[in-house]
Structure 1
Amino acid sequence: MGTDAEVVVVGAGPAGLYAAVELARRGVAARVLERLPAPHHQTRATSIQPGTLELLACSGLADEVRAASVPVRRARVLDADLGLLGEMPYADLDCPWPFQCSLPQWRTEQVLAERLTQLGGVVERGIVVSSMEERDDGVLLRLEQADGTSTAVEAAWVVGAGGAHSVMRTSMDETLEGFTYPGTVLAANIGGHSDVARDASNLVATPGGFVLLVPLPDDRWLTFVGDLDDDEVAQLEHEDPSELVAAGIGRRITGDVTVKDVGWATSFHIHQRVVPRLAEGRRFLLGDAGHLSSPFGGEGLNSALHDAQDIAWKLALTTGGHARPALLESFEIERLAADHHVLDVSEKIDGMARSAVEAARTGIRPSPATPAQRTALARSRCLLDITYAGSPIVGEHLGPGVAPGPPGPGERFPGRAALTGTAHHLVVSGTADPAGLEHLGRRWRGLVDVVRGVDGAAPSGALLVRPDGHVGFRGVPADASGLAALDAFLDSYLVP
Structure 2
Amino acid sequence: MVIIGAGPSGLYAAVELARRGVAARILERLPEPHHETRATSIQPGTLELLARSGMADEVRAASVHVKCARVVDADLGLVGEMPYADLDCAWPFQCSLPQWRTEQILAERLAELGGVVERGVAVTSMEERDDGVLIRLEQADGTSTLVEATWVVGAGGAHSVMRESMDETLEGFTYPGTVLAANIGARCDLARDASNLVATPEGFVLLVPLPDERWLTFVGDLDDDESARLAHATPSAVVAPAIRRRITGDVEVEDVGWATSFHMHQRVVPRLAEGRRFLLGDAGHLSSPFGGEGLNSALHDALDIAWKLALTTRGHARPALVESFAIERLAADHHVLDVSQKVDGMARSAVEAARTGVRPSPATPAQRAALTRARCLLDVSYAGSPIVGEHLGPGVDTLPAPGPGERFPNRATLNGTAHQLLVSGTADTEGLERLDRRWRGLVDVVHGTGAPQAPSGALLVRPDGHVGFRAAPADAAGLAALDTFLDSYLVP
Shorter chain as denominator, the TM-score bin is over 0.9
SS at 2:49 equivalent: helix
Q: Deviations over 1:304-338 (max 9, x none)?
A: 00000000000000000000000000000000000
CA contact (8 A) 1:80 1:206 kept: yes
SS of aligned partner of 1:15: helix
Which piece of structure 1 moves more, 164-173 or 444-453? Answer: 444-453
Distance 1:15 1:329 in 2: 19
What is the CA–CA distance in structure 1 between the aligned matches of 2:73 and 2:145, rounded to whole Å? 56
Aligned to 2:188, which of 188, 194, 199?
194
Q: CA deviation at 1:371?
A: 1.2
1:278 equivalent to 2:272? Answer yes
Match of 2:482? 486
Deviations 1:91-124 (A, max 9, x none): 0000111110000000000000000111000000
Q: How does 1:385-404 map to 2 (within 5 A)?
A: 385-402=379-396, 403-404=398-399
Task: Summarize the alignment of residues 241-390 of structure 1 with structure 2, pairs less than 5 Å apart.
Answer: 241-390=235-384
Superposed displacement of residue 458, structure 1: 2.5
Unaligned runs of 5+ in 1: 1-6
Contact 1:415 1:454 in 2 (8 A): no
* Partners of 1:157 and 1:282 within 8 A in 2: yes
Matched, 1:43 2:31: no
1:63-112: CA deviation from partner (whole Å, max 9, x where unpaired): 01000001000100000011111110100000111110000000000000
Q: Report the alpha carbon displacement of residue 454 of structure 1 after superposing the two structures with TM.
A: 3.6
State the percentage of identical aligned residues: 83
Distance 2:362 2:163 in 1: 41
**Aligned residue number for residue 466 of structure 1:** 462
Report what 2:103 is aligned to: 109
Report the equivalent of 2:442: 447
- Once the two structures are superposed, residues 381-401 of structure 1 have per-residue CA deviations (whole angstroms, 9 ceiling, x without a partner) of 000001000000000000123
Instruction: Indicate if the aligned counterparts of 2:460 and 2:467 stay in contact, CA closer than 8 A.
Output: yes
What are the superposed Cα offsets for residues 461-483 of structure 1, whole Å, 9 maximum, x if unpaired? 11100000000001011111101
DSSP-derived class of the 1:254 partner: coil
Name the aligned partner's letter for residue 423 of structure 2. V
The amino acid that maps onto 1:333 is I
Aligned mates of 1:390, 1:166 — CA distance in 2: 29
- Work out whether 1:238 is the aligned partner of 2:245: no
Task: Give the match for residue 66 of structure 1.
Answer: 60
Runs (4 or more) in structure 1 with deviation over 6 Å come to none
| 1:92 partner SS | coil
Aligned residue for 2:206, secondary structure, equals strand
Q: What residue in structure 2 maps to residue 167 of structure 1? A: 161
Aligned to 2:458, the other structure's residue is in SS state strand
Q: How far off its partner does 1:370 sit? A: 1.3
Counterpart AA for 2:468: G
**TM-score under structure 1 normalisation?**
0.98
Q: CA deviation at 1:30?
A: 0.1
**456 and 80 in structure 1: CA distance in 2 versus 1, 3 angstrom threshold:** farther
2:151 to 157, 169, 186: 157
One-letter code of the match for 2:433? E
Partner of 1:430: 425
**Range moving further from structure 2, 453-462 or 317-326:** 453-462
Unaligned runs of 5+ in 2: none
Give TM-score, length-normalised by structure 2: 0.99
Q: Which amino acid aligns with 1:367?
A: S
Cα distance in 1, alignment partners of residues 101 and 39 from structure 2: 11
Amino acid at match of 2:202: G
How large is the Cα RMSD of the aligned pairs?
0.8
Contact persistence 1:413–1:456 (CA under 8 A): no
Q: Give yes or no for contact 2:265–2:286 (8 Å, CA) kept in 1.
A: yes
Counterpart CA distance in 2 for 1:188 and 1:95 is 31
Asked whether the equivalents of residues 427 and 457 of structure 1 are also in contact (C-alpha less than 8 Å), the reply is: no
Alignment match, 1:4: none
| Distance in 1 (alpha carbons) for counterparts of 2:85 and 2:436 | 39
